[in-house]
Amino acid sequence: MDQAVLILIKPDGLKKSLTGNILTRLSETKLEIVAAKMVRVTQNLAEEHYKHLKDKPFFNEIIKYLQGELHDRKKVMALIYWGNEAIKKCRDLAGSTNPEEAESTSIRGSYGRITTSGVYENVVHVSSNDSEAEREIKLWFSPEEIIVDLYATQDIVHKEFKARSWA
């Protein structure tokens, strides 16, 4: 079954210059990249992304982590991979959430660590099921940024629309 999956290269992955390694590992899946961009992560976006974990004791720490506050820059690389069994293939390559438990050859097992405050800095995010993938993809991307039609869209006419352009 063809599926879409949201991948985030988290701030530790970018800071450690792991982008190329991670993309190379993911290319083993032979899945297609259908969207990719660098994102400056606001607190709202981070909180919305992890909203199902709001009650966890580590919630505040992972919000700071995703926002890049532990790694100097508020940015992550967001990608959508698409193809047969995309979620399972990408999660298998990523490895377990806890980098100490992840297979040593997996992405998280190779490059992740647990911080002294207990946060799992595990380099990548991978959606864990279809409904999570859909929610996350709609949160991180607009339809025009994706080169295939993944979900239903609607046309909206904006009467007054403020946008930033090059000066």
Q: What is the DSSP string of the chain?
A: -EEEEEEEE-HHHHHTT-HHHHHHHHHTTTPEEEEEEEEEPPHHHHHHHTGGGTTSTTHHHHHHHHHTTTSSS-EEEEEEEEEETHHHHHHHHH--SSTTTS-TTSHHHHH-EE-TT--EE-SEEE--SHHHHHHHHHHH--GGGSSS--S-------SS-------
Contact between 120 and ligand UDP per CB under 6 A: yes
Q: Site map for Mg ion, 121-150, x if CB under 5 A?
A: -------x----------------------
Q: Which is nearer to Mg ion, 110 or 128 (CB)?
A: 128
125 given a catalytic annotation:
yes
How many amino acids of this chain bind ligand UDP (CB under 6 A)?
9
Contact between 119 and ligand UDP per CB under 6 A: yes
**Within positions 11 to 40, which residues make up the interface with ligand UDP, using CB under 6 A?**
none
Q: Supply the minimum distance, in Å, between the C-beta of residue 8 and Mg ion.
A: 11
Q: Please pick, from the candidates 16, 36, 39, 58, the single residue that binds ligand UDP as defined by CB under 6 A.
A: 58
The conformational region for residue 83 under phi > 0 = left, psi -120 to 50 = alpha, else beta, is left
Contact between 62 and ligand UDP per CB under 6 A: yes
Q: Please pick, from the candidates 79, 81, 125, 136, the single residue that binds ligand UDP as defined by CB under 6 A.
A: 125
How many amino acids of this chain bind Mg ion (CB under 5 A)?
1
- CA 145/CA 163 separation, integer angstroms: 16
Tell me which residue has its CB nearest to Mg ion.
128
- Which residues are near ligand UDP by CB under 6 A? 53, 58, 62, 97, 119-120, 122, 125, 128
